[in-house]
Structure 1
Amino acid sequence: MSTPSSSCSSSCSSSCSGSSSSRFAAEQAEEMEALAALLPHPGEFQLLPCCCCCCLLQLLPFGQRPAADPLNKAQVQLKFSLPPDYPQVLPHWHFTGHAGFPEAELEDLREKIQKDLERNLGGPMIFSASEVAVEWLRERSKPVQSMYDQMVSRQQQQTAAAAAAAADGEDSNLYKDSDSQEEHSPGNGPADRPLCPENERCSKEEFERWAAAFAEEMISKGIWGSSNSSNGVVTGKQLFLENAAAAAAAADEEEAAASAAFWNDAAVFERDAKGLSDEED
């Protein structure tokens, strides 16, 4: 790729006229300083000597590598000049050279850069545009894959797409099942369920006979205690009071046993103390 002259053309000088005295001069100068720091590799950024508002960018896919590196096959040079009202207006720019790809593809890169400039109108635009160009160049500097590698790459992409589609399908089915359950849950109450035929239903008399037999069985097994309540069934309150009384009685017995043991120990202590006193006498 040929290196263009560092001198500014008459069109560049005319577009920059008055820029140094414009109200955006300080903002433009700061952007140029930032570009010099963000594009530090040799030849990557060049501020043209004609004025402070023109610069030349030599962009490589991998700027940290030499220009002759095979990974830097695609290269492009751009020239930017800032009008007095930049960044409120777009900069003037054009390609000054390219290598590693057909010239017909420059139009695609031109459109991408122009869209990026328009998107960032009102702020610094040049560095963002340079990043767009670098990404575009990297796509065209990838090593050519063999047919086998291309096939493996396609299979991996298809597998990943199928896995993503399956995951989306599972999530969709999960949401559908959840929605279906929510839709039908109000109708699942006892009042909404169909009743069995009348001749198969349990009558009141049959239920009372079953309840009496069940209560008698519970009493005979000692699970329920006998009571004056109907059918000998102990209510929950009665059962609670009985258990509480039993627990209190057990606690009293334990306390009495502990007290007796304490006094027995005290009596032994008194005997020991008396015997010790007799020995001292």
Structure 2
Amino acid sequence: MDQPHNPLFPEWHAPAHWQAVDFISDVHLQAADLATFDVWRQFLQRPAAQRADALCILGDLFEVWVGDDVLQAAGPHSLQAEEDHRFWRDCAAALRTYSQHTPVFFMHGNRDFLLGAQALSLCGMQALVDPTVLVFLGQRWLLSHGDALCLDDTDYMRFRAMVRQTAWQRDFLARPLDERETTARELRQQSQARKAHTAGDPTLWADVDGPAARTWLERSGCTTLIHGHTHRPAHHDVGGGLQRVVLSDWDLNAQPPRAEVLRLDAKGLHREPLFC
């Protein structure tokens, strides 16, 4: 089994007055799932007393992202495309309003890796490199989306290596928006077909490689890796006193519905279900 690339571990030092940070990932916002969008928007509208000092989004906030121009797209487009574009603008507006009072940090996932500087600005978000070490409460916490550590998913790892190249992204973003959206729909259909073979059960999907996660933790000087991507919310012991903590995905159409925030404060890490 190949080891993942040896990453740099940039450090993000939380301000001394911060008392809590919230983490979410894999919300997969899309116009076709307004139930999840409504719960996410309600989370953003919570009163100040219920908010952490910062919100950290560890990838896949959006189900798909084909370029920042979706936020300013002008016709003519199909009715479906127009609906999607209005939805992305509503998402950006909700984030921008939230970020006026609470800083929002964003790390790219495997679905929204094309989200660029323009969209970050319009959403009021600040970018985080994957992986990043958060220095907070006297400890070091390693943050990642998690997909770079799913080494057994060899087809995806090859795809990831290709689409993260600057040249590939430049060429893709140079295509007409309608063409990019068609390509994204085709890729989603392929992904859904693959999931159908496992009945949508994430426990049958490739998981984060334990030894690789331990290597990252040892090299970064952290004891806990916080990540998403796998849709397997749990605490996993990776040996040597090290652990990885997996964020929940959000799906309000599932049975039972899923939507969860992970909060880090002086009491440690604790999960907050948003839908019961």
Per the TM superposition, whether the score is higher than 0.5 is: no
Pairwise TM-score range, normalised by the shorter structure = under 0.3
Larger Rg: 1
TM-score (norm 2): 0.21
Higher relative contact order (CA 8 A, sep 6+): 2
Flag the structure with higher helix content. 1
Higher strand share: 2
